[in-house]
Amino acid sequence: MGHSILIIDDSALVRQQILTTLRKTTLFETYHEAADGMEGFKAALNQAFDVIVCDLEMPGMDGFKFLAMRNARGELKDVPVIMLTGREDLETKIRGLDQGASDYVTKPFDPAELMARVRVQLKIKTLQDALKKSNQLLLQLSNTDPLTSLHNRRYLMDTLDREVERSCRTDIHLSLVMVDIDHFKRVNDTYGHQVGDAVLVAVAALLQGQLRPYDTAARFGGEEFVLVLPSTELAAAGAVAERLRKLTANLSFAREGAPDLVLTISAGVAVVSPGSSVHADDLIRQADTALYRAKQDGRNRVVL
Ligand code: GH3
Ligand code: MG
Ligand code: MG
Ligand code: MG
Ligand code: MG
């Protein structure tokens, strides 16, 4: 994809010279001009540029003010700014670099030097963007269960710590449902591990599909799932679990290669009540105890 550049200078002539210089290269697909800092700032908010060339002395908003406003905006902080300065003005250059400019070009500028400096900034920006992307991917991978694409246990514990803390602080209920597939070992033994995997994927999709946007579903372990339901009282969470239990019992696994399989789940539900001070681990333990009782009582049931 072609790069984009923003040129901010009060002199139309200077802007024209820069444009003429840069148009001789194939570096950019998009060029945008602005006549002062404010106009440039608005343009930069409006569109993601890869490089900004900015004059320092401008009537209206000058380059320093532009840099200050850019620095205050997270989405603009990583866009490199090359400032245009007077030839002898060392102090100005230093001040501009200190305020976040990446480089400078002295006026009247040499076209070859301008192009070279723009290329350097583009190179850095490209690397920076790639790094940002790979960090995001890494974060997503480290929080996701590869089989079901649900959140994994690591993400769950991070979220649960936060939600339990918030619930205790605000006196708003928070419920946790621990779900365990009944006799899942038999599924593997009867249909094979691959079908078992497909069944896990189907159950995960069912759970995820039934939740509200601010609920969290995670794969806790092999065939165990945890749902975190903020602002939900025990009885309401029990009703959610009961609905999931019925839906699971009605699932058909013909597409997964197990047409005669009737799958059931057991669930244990726990709640953080207003005024209590509990930890995420306590809540998990309570739900796990309830789940154990559901298993003891004959499976395919929900215990609060
Ligand atoms: P219970 O009703 O008491 O929960 O019985 P269960 O058979 O479901 O429980 P158990 O803990 O004995 O067995 C869980 C099984 O889940 C054993 C394990 O091989 C299987 N399992 C765990 N993770 C996976 C997975 O990723 N894929 C498949 N196919 N099976 C898995
Ligand atoms: Mg000027
Ligand atoms: Mg077990
Ligand atoms: Mg099980
Ligand atoms: Mg289990």
Cα distance from N-terminal residue to C-terminal residue, the chain = 55
Q: How far is Cα 144 from Cα 136, in angstroms, rounded to an integer? A: 12
Residue of 47, 34, 35 lying closest to 4 (CA atoms): 47
CA distances from 12 to 1, 67, 77, 89, 233 (A): 28, 21, 26, 22, 65
The rounded distance, in Å, linking the Cα atoms of 134 and 131 is 5
Task: Provide the percentage of residues in the chain whose pLDDT is more than 70.
Answer: 100
pTM of the model: 0.83
* Ligand 1 midpoint to CA 283 (Å): 23
Average pLDDT over residues 265-285: 94
DSSP 177-223: EEEEETTHHHHHHHH-HHHHHHHHHHHHHHHHHHS-TT-EEEEEETT
Q: In this predicted model, what pLDDT tens digit does every residue of 186-208 receive, in sequence order?
A: 999 999 999 999 999 999 999 99
**Average pLDDT, whole number, for the chain?**
96
Residues with CB under 5 A from ligand 4 (ion): 180-181, 184, 223
For residue 183, is pLDDT > 70? yes
pLDDT at 275: 82
In the residue annotation, 223 being an active-site residue is answered as yes
Residue 134: its pLDDT value, please? 98
Query: Where does the pLDDT of residue 264 fall: very low under 50, low under 70, confident under 90, or very high at 90 and above?
Result: very high
**Which residues, including other chains, have CB under 8 Å from residue 32's CB and lie 6 or more apart?**
4, 5, 6, 7, 43, 47, 49
- Greater pLDDT, 273 or 16: 16
pLDDT digits (tens, 9 = 90+) for 10-66: 999 999 999 999 999 899 999 999 999 999 999 999 999 999 999 999 999 999 999
Q: Minimum-distance ligand to the CA of 192?
A: 1
Over 70: is that where the pLDDT of 1 sits?
A: no
Residue minimizing CA distance to atom 18 of ligand 1: 185
Atom of ligand 1 nearest to the CA of 188: 29
Nearest CA to ligand 1 atom 13: 185
CA dist 171 and 60 (Å) reads 51
- Residue 109 DSSP symbol: P
Chain segment 114-130, per-residue pLDDT in tens? 999 999 999 999 999 99
Residue nearest to atom 23 of ligand 1 (CA): 222
Residue 270 · residue 176 · CB < 8 Å: yes
**pLDDT class for 87, splitting at 50, 70, 90?**
confident
Work out which ligand 1 atom sits closest to the CA atom of 180: 4
- At 100-159, the pLDDT tens digits run 999 999 999 999 999 999 999 999 999 999 999 999 999 999 999 999 999 999 999 999
